[in-house]
Amino acid sequence: MKLLGQILFPLLIIAIGFAGYSKLKSLKPPKKSKQAKVVIPVVSIADVSPEDHTPPVRSFGTVQSYFETTLTPQVTGEIVEVSEQFKVGVMVKKGELLARIDATDYHAILAGLTATKVTAMQVLAEEEIRVKQASEDWVASGRSLAKASDFVLRKPQLAAARANIKSAEAAEAKAKVDIERTVIRAPYDAVVLARSASLGNLANSQQSLGRLVATEKSEVRLPLSAEQFSRVKLPVSTTGSSESGQPLNVTLTSPSHEGLEWQGDLVRTEAVIDEANQVSYVIAEIENPYTSHTQPLAMGTFVNALIPAVAIKGAYKLNEAALVNDKYVWALDTESRLQRLVAIRRQSYEGDVFLTIETKDLTPPLKIVTRPLTNFKSGDEVSTGSDSAKKPSDKGEGKKRGEGKESGKKEGEA
């Protein structure tokens, strides 16, 4: 009996404890279910209306020489002088001496040809006397001068003597030109790109003495797509004027010269279209690229070009981030709900995009979301930055007012 009591007593204690726990648990009020809080995204918007915008057309190219000359001598001889200015990178003026070839042999040739000409002039003078004497002898013989042959009157001999004079004069002139050609001069204002002439070298027509590039002007070949081409009133001839009669100015910049700009004019349009990429090319000229700016615009420099364009009619200007997948934008209706509007890119410039937007039933100005989220859906409610602070306080105030009315009512009833 004692053993049975020892076994049942702990079990009784456990049963009493469990019954007490169940009683206390039943007295605890049930948890109230909470409704999920609706999160309304806060967005930034831009009020935009269709306007006419004139963003410039962007292009690019490499500066090329307008004139580039390889100096090749037309006479042969030893180089006896090289100018101090004839160095790579140095600017030279038109007509400036660059190098001189020994002209001794050509002076000797000129002297011989001058003597030949003098001899030919003597022969001509003698022949003229013979012609006169032949005519007089024929008339003195009692015969008619009209019946005399040209040979008897020495006309062919006279023509040959005169031809010899012309030949001698031409040879003498050629010798004088050869002497002038021994002096190598700059054909125009230029920059020396290369020089191979050195004292003691033998110059000949197969060897270049150097290369020059003109400083008067340079050119840039700019590609334009079909859409860009349609937005620019380009010159179609060599006059360099647009339809308005004024040159079309182009602003050039280079990544290697930050902060600097150069001005050029579109002068002509190439008459062919590149078959590979279907672009057209226009040519811009830069006057005095080496001297008219604080920093020379050297040949071979890569440049970006801004070309004035005609206005884009009725376009919306937005930040590039507002355009989603290059297809549409998100706008707010009168109830601050999202609508997806189809957008067509017309032009981009410096982080902005110019669009044609299908407005559906919305009336401009449109409220466009500038930085849309990826989870946006049509019909979703959103809040602008200014409205987000007002809505919670309004709801709170309404709730308090309602509670006040209920408590007042209860107090009245009481």
What are 236-265's pLDDT values in tens digits?
A: 554 444 444 567 889 999 998 888 889 999
The domain defined by 216-307 carries CATH number 2.40.50: no
Q: Report the pLDDT value the prediction gives residue 96, as an integer from 0 to 100.
A: 94
Residue 147's pLDDT is 79
Q: Give the gyration radius of the chain's Cα atoms.
A: 49
Q: Pick from 170, 209, 220, 204: which is nearest to 187 by CA? A: 209
Largest CA distance in the chain: 198
The residue ranges of the chain whose pLDDT is under 70 are 1-6, 8-9, 21, 23-38, 235-246, 293, 385-414
pLDDT of residue 146: 80
Enter the pTM of the model.
0.64
What is the pLDDT, as a whole number, of residue 399?
A: 40
Within 8 A by CB and 6+ apart from 158, the residues are 124, 127, 128, 131
User: What is the DSSP secondary structure assignment for residue 247, as one 8-state letter?
Assistant: B
Strand positions, DSSP E, 49-167: 51-53, 57-65, 68-71, 77-82, 91-92, 97-101
pLDDT, residue 97, reads 95
Instruction: Return the pLDDT at 413.
Output: 41
Rounded to whole angstroms, the Cα distance separating 316 from 366 reads: 9
Q: Are 206 and 55 in contact (CB under 8 A)?
A: no
CATH architecture of residue range(s) 67-102+183-213:
Beta Barrel (2.40)
Residue 186, pLDDT score: 94
Other C-beta atoms closer than 10 Å to the C-beta of 167 total: 14
Burial class of residue 250 in the structure, from the number of CB atoms within 10 Å of its CB (0-12 exposed, 13-18 middle, 19+ buried): buried
pLDDT at 36: 62
User: Going by CATH, does the domain composed of 46-50+312-384 fall within 2.40.420?
Assistant: yes
Strand partners, 262: 252
Instruction: Give the Cα separation of 69 and 194 in Å (integer).
Output: 11
